[in-house]
């Protein structure tokens, strides 16, 4: 069983930065970040594998967000720079076997952390 715990959300102004963390217990192979804004579907943000450098990003966050990991701490991060009001959402980390951008393929989910960006 895999447990994921996110932290690091908050209220910031446009142009600010935040770093989200996702601490994982149990063995996972690939990790991803997703977000869901009120009234919208859950959408992919970024994903990576623990054992490789391969990363995927949504077009909307490329160049602003960076996914990284600390294998020794079993923790994944999402560094978010130049935040925009449209980045406001609940952010979830998730784990799966095969690296994918499809949220339905992820088996384990964290509880979510709120990110609010004011204009």
Q: pLDDT for 7-65, tens place per residue?
A: 999 999 999 999 999 999 987 889 999 999 999 999 999 999 988 889 999 999 999 99
Distance CA 32, CA 6 (A): 12
Q: What's the pLDDT score for residue 113? A: 97
Structure-model confidence comparison of residues 73 and 52, the more confident one: 73
Q: What's the pLDDT score for residue 28? A: 80
Half-sphere exposure of 59 (CA within 13 A, CB side): 0
Distance CA 26, CA 28 (A): 6
Smallest CA-to-CA distance from 91 within 100, 99, 80, 82 is with 80
Other CB atoms within 10 A of residue 52 CB: 10
Q: What's the pLDDT score for residue 50? A: 85
């Amino acid at each position: 069983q895999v447990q994921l715990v996110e932290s690091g959300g908050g209220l910031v102004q446009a142009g600010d930065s935040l770093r989200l963390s996702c601490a994982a217990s149990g063995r996972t192979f690939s990790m991803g970040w997703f977000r869901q804004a009120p009234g919208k579907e859950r959408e992919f943000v970024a994903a990576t594998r623990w054992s490789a450098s391969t990363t995927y990003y949504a077009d909307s966050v490329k160049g602003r967000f960076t996914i990284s990991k600390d294998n020794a701490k079993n923790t994944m991060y999402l560094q978010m720079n130049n935040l925009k009001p449209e980045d406001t959402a609940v952010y979830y980390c998730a784990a799966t076997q095969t690296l994918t951008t499809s949220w339905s393929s992820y088996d384990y989910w964290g509880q979510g952390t709120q990110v609010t960006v004011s204009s």
